Structure 1
Amino acid sequence: MVMSVLLSFIFPPPPSLVVSTMSVISLVSLANAGLSEVRGKHLNYSKFWNANPSSEKQIKLSSKAGMLLLYTPAFLASLASFWIFPHEGLRSTVLQSAVTLHFFKRVFEVLFIHKYSGGMTLESAIPITLSYFLSAATLIYSQHLTNGLPEPAMNLLYPGILMFVVGILGNFYHHYLLSNLRGKGEKEYKIPKGGCFELVICPHYLFEITMFYGIFFISQTLYALSFAVGTTFYLLGRSYSTRKWYLSKFEDFPKNVKAIIPFVF
């Protein structure tokens, strides 16, 4: 029953052990990372870059260098896909464009939007970089494997494009608001204001989730669904920890501001 409903809006899973394995790994690893965030074991970047100090000497990167390391391989992989899998139809081209644009935006923000205060350990940067690279490559490869397969009964391509545009613009706008919190040379954190920050402390995560469900709607593959669901679990956990951090640092943090879902969570 569940499988028949699922197959009404996704392509039949391809006979690929690699993609099937990656679908499971993405969902489980991202969900586990979200649970770890709730438990206080954070991936060491942004405000949590030094949250889990180790007794071993670790290599520290600047935030800017670390963030470039995270996103550049995934951007280059998605860009290269236009040469590796050219002209495979509208859905594939839109999917390749969406993944490429997402990681291009990330690189652009690192270079021109974000302002930094901490750092990043190489130990944290390497698995995140690998995760982004593999997710970009697998999203596009999964789409490639749908060539010749019957289209799902429910076509979600155009709603997916709309969701993706709303998600990427909303994410960018709230990253821009965060960058404007600090004046030149300032490094301290402040309570974010404006936009959806009046409702949740992580609207950029909410819009990122929206964007990845847009990518799933565009793609309609099992891997894209697994990655979107896994990302949801991770960002729910990360936003919970972020709100907890703000509550611990700012006595005047408004209690009505939720973590990621307005009025709910």
Structure 2
Amino acid sequence: MIACGVVTLLFLTFGITAPYGKYSRPGFGISLNAKLAWMVQEAPSFLVVAYMAHNNSSEIRNAPNDCLLCLFLFHYFNRTFIYPLRLRGGKPTPLFVFLMAFAFTTYNGVLQGQYMTQLASMNRQTDLAFWVGLALFTVGWFVNYHSDNTLRSLRRPGETGYKIPRGGMFEYVSGANFLGEIVEWTGWAVASQSLPATAFAIFTACNIGPRAYAHHNFYLKNFPNYPRHRKAIIPFIL
């Protein structure tokens, strides 16, 4: 997963911008309804881990493990069943993008679920890293959720086109929603202190970091009054 993350970072930075959302364009074959594609492609992350957690009879079960499993399922319940239903509009998703996302969420669901239900053996209620990680996850989730709501509220029902997002972390970066998700999974990795969780956090940053940079350039190109002090993904730095 880490190797795939590095390849993805290089491809999305120096190759092409993934052709979905505002970057949808002809020439990428069959396309699917955006809401349906998103719901199905994200579903394995929730369903696979929920199945493993439900059938977990391992002796390693403890409060920290269960807490991290619940946080993972909490995030993906929202991303799978709530977020896509709240989307306004949404350009069609190319089939090959959908298939790659579905393959990744299936693989990651198996990887994280297998580790957390069968292999992890942590008992870290007094471990500072565990609590710092939970705090980071919480902050990241709220930034991500608030940013998604901000983007959703930019358009009234029936409206099309793009507007400058304002408020919250959007005052500092163009990809506030992406920043929130990166902080989320970084916190989850810190709390877990495991290689699978760390690999997921690295892949997340490699995958959505370039998209935040693409968004930043899109805003600069299309809005002459776009705030020049904003960065792409890391406040005051990048």
Q: Give the secondary-structure state (helix, strand or coil) at the position aligned to 1:185.
A: coil
Equivalent in the alignment of 1:29: 4
Residues 53-92 of structure 1 correspond to what in structure 2 (within 5 A)?
53-54=27-28, 58-86=29-57, 88-92=61-65
Identify which range, 87-96 or 123-132, moves more after superposition: 87-96
Is 2:189 aligned against 1:216?
A: yes
Contact 2:185 2:201 in 1 (8 A): yes
Change (3 A) 1:233 1:148: closer
Indicate how the Cα distance of structure 1 residues 238 and 148 shifts in structure 2: closer, same or farther if over 3 A, else same: closer
Please show how residues 104-119 of structure 1 align to structure 2 within 5 Å.
104-107=77-80, 108-112=82-86, 114-119=87-92
Report the CA distance between 1:257 and its aligned residue.
Answer: 1.2
Work out whether residues 143 and 169 of structure 2, in 8 Å CA contact, stay in contact via their aligned partners in 1.
no
Counterparts of 1:187-226 in structure 2, within 5 Å, are 187-226=160-199
CA distance in 2, matches of 1:150, 1:191: 45
SS at match of 2:201: helix
1:176 is displaced (CA, Å) by 0.2
Write the distance in 1 (CA, Å) between the matches of 2:101 and 2:198: 20
Specify whether residues 163 and 231 from structure 1 end up closer, same or farther in structure 2 by C-alpha distance, changes over 3 A only: same
Aligned position for 1:14: none
The alignment's TM-score, normalised by the length of structure 2, stands at 0.90
Q: Is the 8 A contact 2:175 2:213 kept in 1?
A: no
- Amino acid paired to 1:110: P
Return the alpha-carbon distance in structure 1 between the equivalents of residues 76 and 36 of structure 2: 15
CA deviation string 1:125-173 (max 9, x = no partner)? 011111122112211212234355897x965222222111111121011
Name the residue aligned to 2:105: 132
2:35 alignment partner AA? K
The answer to whether structure 1 residue 41 and structure 2 residue 16 are counterparts is: yes
**Does the 8 Å contact 1:35/1:234 carry over to 2?**
no
Gaps of 5+ in 1: 1-25
CA-CA distance at 1:261 after TM superposition: 0.8
- Please say if residues 31 and 231 of structure 1, whose CA atoms lie closer than 8 Å, have aligned partners that are also in contact: no
Change (3 A) 1:149 1:69: closer
Relative to structure 1, is the Cα distance of residues 190 and 148 closer, same or farther in structure 2, using a 3 angstrom cutoff? closer
Q: 1:148 to 1:243 in 2, by over 3 A?
A: closer
Cross-structure match for 1:143 = 116
Aligned length: 234
Residues 201 and 259 in structure 1, CA contact (< 8 A), matched pair in contact too: yes
The residue type paired with residue 131 of structure 2 is Y
| CA contact 1:34–1:238 (8 Å) conserved in 2 | no
Contact 1:81 1:96 in 2 (8 A): no
User: Structure 2 counterpart of 1:183, which letter?
Assistant: R
CA shift in 2, pair 1:248/1:95, >3 Å = same
Report deviation, 1:34: 2.1
CA displacement, residues 39-67 of structure 1 (integer Å, 9 cap, x when unaligned): 241222221232x734xxx2211211111
Amino acid at match of 2:197: A
The runs of 5 or more residues in structure 2 that have no matched partner are none
Structure-1 separation of matches of 2:4 and 2:144: 23
- TM-score, normalisation: structure 1: 0.81
Instruction: Tell me the equivalent position of 2:95.
Output: 122
Deviations, residues 55-106 of structure 1 (Å, cap 9, x unaligned)? xxx2211211111122112211122122122571112211211111111111
- Give 2:84's aligned amino acid: V
Amino acid at match of 1:63: A
Distance 1:120 1:147, change over 3 A: closer
